[in-house]
Amino acid sequence: MFTRRNFIKNTASIGIGSQFLFNTPLELIAKNRSKTSINDKINFGVIGCKGMGWSNMASILKNSDTDCVALCDIDDKVLEERSINVKDITGKKPKIYKDYRKLLENKDIDAVVIGTPDHWHCLNLVDALSAGKHVYCEKPISNSIEEADVMLNASNQYKKCIQVGQWQRSGGQYKEAMNYLWSGNLGNIRLVKVWAYMGWYGWVDNLKNTDPPKGVDYDMWLGPAPKRKFNQNRFHGSFRWYWDYAGGLMTDWGVHEIDIALWGMKVKNPLSISASGGKFAYPNQDTETPDSLQTVYEFKDFTMLWEHANGIDSGNYGLSEGIAFIGNRGTLVVNRTGWHVIPEKDHRNTKNLFIEEVPRTTFNWDEVREKYGDPLDLHTENFLGSIKKNDPTILNCGIESGSLVSKVAHMGNIAYRSQSKIRWNDEKNNFDNSTANNLIKPEYSNGWEFPSL
């Protein structure tokens, strides 16, 4: 029987942090690959190889009809490590590059994986499309609203397959939950709660500026971002706590969770957005994005509430992350470990429950993978299927979905940064607030130009 106490007990030991990355042993991937004709293989290049860029590529290489023929990164150590990793899987080393534009000139490459920091995604993707490549791009798709629009426009122009790395869209538990939501059993949905409480994530020690590490092309890492002295906090991993490169937890985890909310409610842009938060937990560290944030999105028939907190695990319903669809007849709660439905009682008439409880059947990552399959592998397989058919319409999370949720997440950050309630105008594609409008499009620096189509 479902009880909050039992549920929290079952989920308390679940880690949704760094160990949630998809790290299948390389020797197992290599062992399971079968011989495939070179002519039948889809050749990949990777731009940004350290974290999820490599996790995505490793997942793709579980399919024997794929190969990784090129790697690009600004860090020699990363290139050396990943080059060895590729050889361990495929038996041969890929070509290596320090400038992604040179990689895109390689005619042997059919598709690229983009795993660079957020502020690079727009240039990487637009240039990859113009070079005739299909793209698997890490989330968030962009670091601004305007970039999301440009990337969507580029996809419409070049007609290639673009899968966004919001792999929750391929998770079986989410698909089951959406089908239940769309059945109407919950009644009218009045509120959608979306949250990410990350106890393991988001704090740094203040560090002094230094020279870049040996083998790192720091100028290339900065790219269109403003010129700054090198600081380790603004580099691998923790870059996302600085506005120049990313949008904090809102755009890191928010695009995963808000994507499910928008998908479930079948909506696009909100009418208004307001936000409150700040650096409440770690006020003295040199990060910029808020470690605590609550954002209210107004839609026509419901409200969506986003919450995030660095350094805290205890989120809503005993879960560190998730989405709750709260209806008149019951509440559906879904996250990476499963889903369940909590019924409401008919206090006015029958005094009975409106609907039957739907208990959880999975409570941890191993159970999810056993029941539904590995969602990242399903996501990359879906991408490969789209390439083979040259059909972007079958993608589980195409550029339309990625662009939409990126814009909505950035709207929440802009409401916080402008310190006001802002309203969005779909026709004008801007806000009713000049301060907010100044944050729609970034200024590109260091000789890099904002893409124009």
Q: What percent of the chain has pLDDT over 90?
A: 92
CATH of the domain at 363: 3.30.360.10
Number of structural domains the chain divides into: 2
Each residue of 360-375: pLDDT tens digit? 999 999 999 999 999 9
pLDDT at 2 over 60: no
Q: What is the mean pLDDT of residues 385-409?
A: 98
pTM, 2 dp: 0.95
Given 109, 136, 168, the domain boundary residue is: 168
- Which pLDDT band, with edges at 50, 70 and 90, does 24 fall under? confident
Helix, strand, coil % in the chain, rounded to nearest 5: 40, 20, 40
Indicate if 160 and 177 belong to the same structural domain: no
Q: What is the mean pLDDT of residues 117-146?
A: 98
Indicate if 111 and 194 belong to the same structural domain: no
Of 413, 414, 409, 378, residue with least CA distance to 396: 378
Is the residue at 381 inside a domain?
Answer: no
Is the residue at 117 inside a domain?
Answer: yes
Indicate if 173 and 142 belong to the same structural domain: no
Q: What's the mean per-residue pLDDT of the chain?
A: 94
Given 168, 200, 227, the domain boundary residue is: 168
Q: What is the pLDDT of residue 81?
A: 97
pLDDT at 418 over 90: yes
Indicate if 273 and 145 belong to the same structural domain: no
Based on the number of CB atoms within 10 Å of its own CB, is 187 exposed (0-12), middle (13-18) or buried (19 or more)? Answer: middle
Is the residue at 338 inside a domain?
Answer: yes
- Which pLDDT band, with edges at 50, 70 and 90, does 132 fall under? very high
For residue 149, what are the domain limits? Answer: 18-168
Indicate if 340 and 405 belong to the same structural domain: yes
Report the alpha-carbon distance of residue 130 to residue 128 in Å, rounded: 5
Q: What is the mean pLDDT of residues 430-438?
A: 98
Of 241, 209, 302, 250, residue with least CA distance to 406: 250
Q: What is the pLDDT of residue 13?
A: 37
CATH of the domain at 91: 3.40.50.720
Indicate if 205 and 339 belong to the same structural domain: yes
Measured at the CA of 419, the angle between CA 416 and CA 421, to 5 degrees, comes to 90
Indicate if 189 and 307 belong to the same structural domain: yes
DSSP bridge pairs for 277: 293
Is the residue at 443 inside a domain?
Answer: no
Each residue of 151-174: pLDDT tens digit? 999 999 999 999 999 999 999 999
Q: What is the mean pLDDT of residues 253-260?
A: 98
Q: What is the pLDDT of residue 453?
A: 80
Given 127, 147, 168, the domain boundary residue is: 168
DSSP bridge pairs for 135: 112, 162
Indicate if 155 and 205 belong to the same structural domain: no
- Greater confidence (24 vs 140) lies with 140
Indicate if 308 and 426 belong to the same structural domain: yes
Based on the number of CB atoms within 10 Å of its own CB, is 356 exposed (0-12), middle (13-18) or buried (19 or more)? Answer: exposed
- Which pLDDT band, with edges at 50, 70 and 90, does 7 fall under? very low
Indicate if 142 and 211 belong to the same structural domain: no
Each residue of 33-88: pLDDT tens digit? 998 888 889 999 999 999 999 999 999 999 999 999 999 999 999 999 999 999 99
Is the residue at 220 inside a domain?
Answer: yes
Indicate if 174 and 202 belong to the same structural domain: yes
Beta strands in 37-170 (DSSP E): 42-47, 66-72, 95-97, 111-114, 134-137, 162-164
